[in-house]
Structure 1
């Protein structure tokens, strides 16, 4: 096992910079997930840690050793890719042992490592099958097993579940979480899937346009985002945003007038500097934080477009006017979710306020 440090790492392709001075500490045995929209630099960052991409500036340290100029095979890492990359003409056992055999590893030790990986991943009964005889989930287990047999200090995963269907993704998430718990090895995982990030990570790194926006534990990012981007990206369904204007600011309280909710007012306490009267702000509300009418600090009425009933929970997709679309979560409320219009309440303590630049007002 090993800790991983990134110190002001930069990546440029020609004159175009795609990673802008990323700094990060991954503790020994920690499970860290890189998450962000397509093109944000998360896979490039992972490939630089693996040594598959040269860094343009900065320093990468694995297990206390600077590895900027160290070959990938010498870094003590193993990588699992989006594509399974299995040899189609080999059996599962041969796929698992191939890398060790090519490196001249002792036959007995190779067999021991392969058997251990097969037991961990519960694929012992598949050892004599070829990849074409396996399901997608089984192939991904073999790909992970090929990494396990190397006894790496660090596991790197580049969107390993994106080719699987929804049910298999759930199963494999559980398998990877169990694998981390059993092995206790440092893991760095790239995904754009919110559920994967929230359920797997000890720590999430949110990236946008080559910059690290925020680092923290999953629920810390969910409950305490630093800016509107993180607030909207972490969580599924995403946070709702409503345009507003500050109409009063006094005694550590701002009063916000919501532009598209019939002039509804919400008084929100803030601990920091108060925005000026007339300043444009954005109010954020999680779907589960809309309350019953009359039970909050302010009520708004919305037009119901679609209601999804998922058993004990319903999601109401509503139009608040001015092009604002809201998602409202309701538990055991099928009747209310079937209405054409509905009134919900906002509680100031369960809302977030952002300035015109998207920064959180606290």
Structure 2
């Protein structure tokens, strides 16, 4: 096993800068997830670790060894792609062993590695089948098995579950988490799905436009985001954001809400008249009258999922709000509901999106 270190890593495609000086330490045996919107640079960063993209500037080290000029096959990594990329004319066993056989690995050792990968992934009964006879989840397990047989120091996953349906995604998340627990190998995983990130990661790296916004444990990022971008990206449904204006002395008025005000200790640093953004997560709303300020909403869509219901609504100012419904779960589209914002659960951001301490 080995850790991964990035120091001042940059990537440019001609005049286009895509990665802007990333510094990161991935511990030995740690599961780190790169997450962010499409185009943020997470796959490019992963491909640079794998050696599939050149580093424009900075250093990448694996196990303490700088690998900028080391060939991908010699870096001690194995990568699992979004595409299964299985050879259709080969059996599962032949797909698993192909890379080892091409490298002249001893037959007995190859058979041992294939058998061990099949045991770990519970695909022993599938070894004689061809890919066309497998489900999507089974094909993805074979693709992961092909990485396992290489016995790498670092596993790299590039959105491996994107091609699966919702039920299989959940199953494979569990499989990958179990795999990490059994192998204890360093894993770096790329996804745009923050649910995957929250489920799998020891730590999450939130990326935006080629820059690291925040690094931390899943619940730390959820509870203590450093800015509005991280607060909105981590969490499903996302945090609600309401335009606000400081009245001075820590009091904040919600813009266009008919004079609705709330006192927030973090608002004391704002001058009277300064704009701000108030954030509140869907599950933190309380019943009307129980919090520190009430908010009137008109329901657009009521989403009833059994144990949980969400109300997709609008404020008087037309701002979209999602409420995890408790007492108001019987509300229907077109109805009116009142909820309350507890000051202790609210976040406040300045006009640039930075969180106010």
Asked if these proteins are the same fold (TM beyond 0.5), I'd say yes
Give the Cα separation in 1 of the matches to 2:84 and 2:184.
23
CA drift at 1:229: 0.3
Quote how far apart the aligned CAs of 1:275 are.
1.3
Report 1:62-81 matches (<5 A): 62-81=62-81
Asked if 1:280 corresponds to 2:275, the answer is yes
User: What is the match of residue 204 of structure 1?
Assistant: 204
CA contact (8 A) 2:266 2:348 kept: no
What TM-score does the superposition give when structure 1 sets the normalisation length? 0.97
Structure 1 distance, partners of 2:38, 2:316, is: 30
SS of the residue 2:299 aligns to: strand
3-state SS of 2:322 partner: strand
- State the Cα distance separating 1:232 from its structure 2 match: 0.3
TM-score (norm 2): 0.98
Mapped partners of 2:329, 2:212: distance in 1: 41
Q: Distance in 1 between matches of 2:194 and 2:256?
A: 29
CA distance in 2, matches of 1:331, 1:58: 51
Unaligned 5+ segments in structure 2 are: none
Q: Distance in 1 between matches of 2:231 and 2:173?
A: 24
The answer on whether the counterparts of 1:10 and 1:56 sit within 8 Å (CA) in structure 2 is yes
Write the distance in 2 (CA, Å) between the matches of 1:62 and 1:96: 25
| Structure 2: distance between partners of 1:332 and 1:69 | 60
Write the deviation string for residues 109-137 of structure 1: whole angstroms up to 9, x where unpaired: 10000000001000000001011111100
- Residue 164 of structure 1 is matched in structure 2 by 164
Q: Is the 8 A contact 1:314 1:334 kept in 2?
A: yes
User: 1:354 aligned to 2:349?
Assistant: yes
Q: Structure 2 CA distance, aligned partners of 1:177 and 1:351?
A: 33
Partner of 2:265: 269
8 Å CA contact retained: 2:287, 2:327? no
The corresponding residue for 1:124 is 124
Per-residue deviation, 1:312: 1.8
The Cα shift of 1:180 comes to: 0.3
1:289-312 CA-to-partner distances (Å, cap 9, x unmatched) read 000111111111111111011112
Q: In 2 relative to 1, CA 4–30 (structure 1 residues): closer, same or farther, beyond 3 Å?
A: same
CA contact (8 A) 2:328 2:337 kept: no
Give the Cα separation in 2 of the matches to 1:152 and 1:324.
49
Partner of 1:296: 291
Distance 1:332 1:140 in 2: 42
Q: Is the 8 A contact 2:62 2:75 kept in 1?
A: yes
- Equivalenced residues, count: 357
Q: CA RMSD in A?
A: 1.1
Contact 2:5 2:60 in 1 (8 A): yes
Instruction: Give structure 1 stretches of 5+ with no counterpart.
Output: none
CA distance in 2, matches of 1:323, 1:299: 16
Deviations 1:300-355 (A, max 9, x none): 11111110111121100001133310000024643245671111000111010000
Contact 2:300 2:334 in 1 (8 A): no
Tell me how far apart the structure 1 counterparts of residues 36 and 8 of structure 2 sit (CA, whole Å).
19
Task: Describe how 1:137-152 pairs up with structure 2 within 5 A.
Answer: 137-152=137-152
Give CA deviations for 1:148-192 in whole Å, capped at 9, x if unaligned. 000000000000000000000000000000000000000000000
